[in-house]
Amino acid sequence: MIMDKLYAKAKNKGPVCLGLDTDTTYMPKCITDLDVGVGEKIFRFNKEVIDATKDVVGCYKVQIAYYEALGMEGLKAYSDTMKYIKEADEISIGDVKRGDIAATAGMYAKGHFEGDFEADIITVNGYMGEDAISPFYPYITDKEKGLFVLLRTSNKSAVDLQDVEADGKKLYMHMGDLIEKWGASFVGENGFSSIGAVVGLTYPEEFSMLAKRYPNMFFLVPGYGAQGGTGKDFAAVLKESSCAVVNSSRGLITAHKNKTEDWDFSEQIRNATLRMKEDIVQWL
């Protein structure tokens, strides 16, 4: 089961999920000066980052929007990045947030669990119900793939929908119960289902409560740093269970800015990643 592998990597190397949400403005001069197309520049940047950090992170999350925005060159960079993560024997999360039903969801599953865009785990939107999740089930059982379903997101307006009460229970709590139900058949050796959830670190008390309520659920946690979440907030949950990875994207991959424009940029990103890891583990 893929969450067993992610659990092991996070426990052995640290719970940092490094986000390769690579914008062209993030790249140093040594990359932008290369005589290649923009897609190849992005891939070269990502490759340097992966090589510099793969021993200190649990996984990599690649947000597809940054690549789609660049057309075919960007999609090739996305594909090359996912393949390189696989070649490095690391875990990739395709942050694609797909959410549709029936045959369309099946094509999303095929598109992101096979072929050029293959990821180990993808993010999905389950607010259309199990019809939007069940087409991914065969890939969980046959190809050891996984899902992170949006549960409690970190954006400010999430409360407009997710805090609405129905039958005396907030909507995100009902979603949590559904994710737990959907994932019950896919629990691995370490007790975590291959269907996990996305919960923002901007709500640390709620994250702690959800981790206790759903002991078989592994979490992808955005919201560290720029959105207000701290290592102390995250470690409060990890003290109870190694049940999550916490993502930082821009905060890590722009760490070289105003420091270097040369090939040592990846050292700056590695150092920032180590500082984030230390910010978490110091509280454990």
- Rounded Cα distance between 116 and 80, Å, is 8
- Rounded Cα distance between 29 and 51, Å, is 19
When the pLDDT of each residue in the chain is averaged and rounded to a whole number, the result is 94
Res. 55 pLDDT band, cuts 50 70 90: very high
pLDDT at 226: 62
220-255 confidence digits (pLDDT tens): 999 887 666 788 888 888 888 889 999 999 999 999
Answer whether residue 13 shows pLDDT above 70. yes
pTM of the model: 0.95
Annotation marks residue 97 as catalytic: yes
Q: What is the chain's alpha carbon radius of gyration, rounded to the nearest angstrom?
A: 18
Q: Catalytic residue, from 13, 47, 83, 97: name it.
A: 97
Which position has the higher pLDDT, 45 or 164? 45
- Domains of the chain and CATH, by start: 2-281 (3.20.20.70)
| Vertex 204 angle, CA 147 and 256, to 5° | 75
Which position has the higher pLDDT, 201 or 2? 2
97-141 confidence digits (pLDDT tens): 999 998 999 999 999 999 999 999 999 999 999 999 999 999 999
